[in-house]
Structure 1
């Protein structure tokens, strides 16, 4: 059972199904710098999710410990609004010890094409 992270922009949304904690997920161009809000579910208990301004889990960040499910409004908080480029779920530290990969949205029934995550090379 994968963890689900949803990103929302005005009029569209994207679901990202991930299966690894301590892995940095960099958003491909379609969702890079677009999110105004996020929700998540099925995260491990005692974990946290962190969103980063820059690719490869760097730059300014916002961390939420609302797990296994929760939400965050970048727009309402005025932090990282339309600036999120990567995210990670972690339990021990913000070190992406399980690697860094690029990810595209699953097909949530919106305008996005079905995509696959290639965790070995970080590309499609």
Structure 2
């Protein structure tokens, strides 16, 4: 994000209970923005809880509506063809970040993977 002169605060929750509400609220008050990445479903998720807490505690400080990035509320696919469109990737996340900063979204210069379901060269997976 440095190429767009965007600084951000990354909060790794480590655990969901107890939730570090103070750190989240302090960050949102400072930045005025919130993106929650959650590998779980959108409905009844930790991401929905975090957004609710932010809205209840510092709604007037938000410069842009909270953004929630989750997997779809459908059963997780296992086929190669369907998983391509199920999980969010770095391009998707970057576009969401640029959107909340009202920056023009350009095609990112990320190195494309040969296979979308391989997280890295280190992965020797079951298949």
**TM-score with structure 1 setting the length:** 0.29
Greater helix share, structure number: 2
**TM-score with structure 2 setting the length:** 0.29
